[in-house]
Copies of this chain bind each other. A is one copy, B any other.
């Protein structure tokens, strides 16, 4: 019930901009792009809608601002790739969970995935992200025929993302990271290096 009514600047030095950005991230993560309204973000930050426009311009701009996260997939994957194919499945999964379980970046990543799957931004993943970023990284880890193995790895990882972070089915959320690594890691390893039927 923090009744905020008066016009003009607030006393003190509150970082209102950061609050708005956090509210936007949370809303984009939970409701997706279309489901998020500027008014709702403003209300959740205890602020007038016009202020959102003042800081971040249009709604699209707000969205890309909310997706700004300090994680470059190629950089994160580099050490995993450098260590070679032995035990790559578990290493891959461990670093992956290290990023996704970080509460600092999780909302932005979930928002990104939600938008990819609800709106037709799917093309971005389909045509650019996987072939350009993920594909080459995994390609040096697979035994052979990467065009057949990479999609399998991706499918299991995507399933993990959706069940653990997007839909958040309870047993998957409750599972400790190391347990996920121990149970799914071998499957990734299997997709990467075992003989294909």
Contact = CB atoms under 8 A, between A and B. Distances in A.
Interface string A139-182: 00000000110111011111110111011111110010000001
Contact of A159 (B125, B160, B172, B196): B160
A184 interface: yes
A190 B175 CA distance: 19
Interface string A91-120: 000000000000000000000001011111
A155 B126 contact: no
A183 B156 CA distance: 12
A184 B152 contact: yes
A81 interface: no
Given A154-B163, A158-B167, 17 more contacts: A32-B118, A35-B119, A114-B117, A117-B118, A117-B167, A126-B170, A150-B171, A151-B169, A151-B175, A155-B156, A155-B160, A155-B184, A156-B159, A156-B187, A157-B159, A182-B197, A183-B197
Would you list the 5 A-B pairs with minimal beta carbon distance, nearest first?
Answer: A159-B159, A118-B118, A155-B159, A151-B171, A158-B159
Interface of A: 30-32, 34-35, 114, 116-120, 122, 125-126, 130, 147-148, 150-152, 154-160, 162-164, 166-172, 175, 182-184, 186-187, 190-191, 196-197
6 contacts: A30-B120, A116-B167, A117-B162, A117-B166, A152-B184, A155-B172
